[in-house]
Amino acid sequence: MLIGWVTATILKKILSGALKLAKLDEKVGGAIGRDGKGLILSDALAETAYWLVWLFFLPSILQALRMQALLEPVTALLNKVFEFLPNLVSAGAIGLVGWFIARVVQRLVQSMLVAAGADQLGEKWGLTTSLGKQKLSGVLGLVVYFIILVPVLISALAALKLDVVTRPASDMLGKILGALPNIIGALVILLIAALIGKVVSGLVTNLLAGLGFNNVLVRLGLTKTPTQGKQAPAAIIGMLAFAVILLFASIAAAELLEFQAVGALIKDFIGFAGHISMGVVILGLVLWLAEFVSKAIATASSRHAAGLATFTRIVILALAGAMALRQTGLANDIVNLAFGLTLGAVAVATALAFGLGGRETASRMLEDWSKRSKEIPTNEGGWRGG
């Protein structure tokens, strides 16, 4: 035990000092982006070596104590460990070398992209907001890193020769590796669609703004001053155009990834959005018509012109709301029932008001209509009573 403790302690000190002298923590931390902060890899390796030495001395200690009941299980355990140790070392070496190569290639690709101006190009295309803190060069470098690391992990798991444990993980990584071309293709489709959508969105926004589309809310009577910035109608239409292009690209990406359910869901959403858009267009046209008709009636010389203009506007807007809801396909039965009940209630109310509240007036009007119906034209073109 004394020899084992001395040997383990000396080895721990030597290994810890050598690893710290080689600045392993700083190098590994810099490679993974942590700059050595919070890393104790050298101490962990030294501690592992310390207890491995104790594990090697354990059979000799138990034999010296003549503890045969514990010696046989420990010896069997160590034999299995020693048999598995080459596989573990091989898997660790493969993983460490592959990880190092992946990090080097990632840094190399990232540096080349930065030198080529990829980050400035990403800012020019408007990808900075969608990428967050990451830059375009960092994202592409990370993609390359995972492309290299996945087959390395598969090889490292295969080196362990533990099929029961490693086969599911290897199969999963194999499927990921097989799907990588489709994933990259889907990302390329979305990237190209985002670039095209950005260009189309800018063109649509500028064109509509040049045509005076930002004053549409003022013309419809919804606001008194036109909105500016991202809330302007032209900017909103431009963002909708960008979203539509991305949705169609998402359908192609989902089909490439064989996500049929996702593609069908996006198609249904596009169809529903089309109905909503048509309803909004109908509502906008009818709002313009209501504004035009109400202004035309309000300019009349009649003393009831203002009230009649308001009533006409309300009637047109009610019809427009029913038409818009009908077009969107939302609660068609409710819209039909509400419109029918409203029209029936107006008819019944008019009949009751005319028949009960104005019976004398109704009688005179009916009598007058009856007299006019009995008048027949003469041969000279005049009129005479019947």
CB 277 within 8 A of CB 269: no
How confident is the model over 67-117, as pLDDT tens digits? 777 777 777 777 777 777 788 888 888 888 888 888 888 888 888 888 877
CA separation for the pair 12, 44 (Å, rounded): 10
Q: In the prediction, which pLDDT does 6 show?
A: 92
How confident is the model over 337-363, as pLDDT tens digits? 766 777 777 777 777 766 666 667 767
CB 71 within 8 A of CB 63: yes
Q: Taking the model in full, what pTM does it have?
A: 0.49
Q: In the predicted model, is pLDDT for residue 10 greater than 90?
A: yes
CA separation for the pair 370, 328 (Å, rounded): 48
Is residue 31 helix, strand or coil?
Answer: helix
CA separation for the pair 15, 21 (Å, rounded): 10
CA angle 144, 150, 155 (to 5 degrees): 135
Quick one: tokens of 215?
């004053």
Helices (H), 125-214: 128-131, 136-160, 163-210
**Between 209 and 245, the higher pLDDT residue:** 245
CB 247 within 8 A of CB 191: no
Is residue 385 helix, strand or coil?
Answer: coil
Q: In the prediction, which pLDDT does 178 show?
A: 75
233: Cβ contacts below 8 Å, ≥ 6 apart: 208, 213, 214, 216, 217, 227
**Between 281 and 166, the higher pLDDT residue:** 281
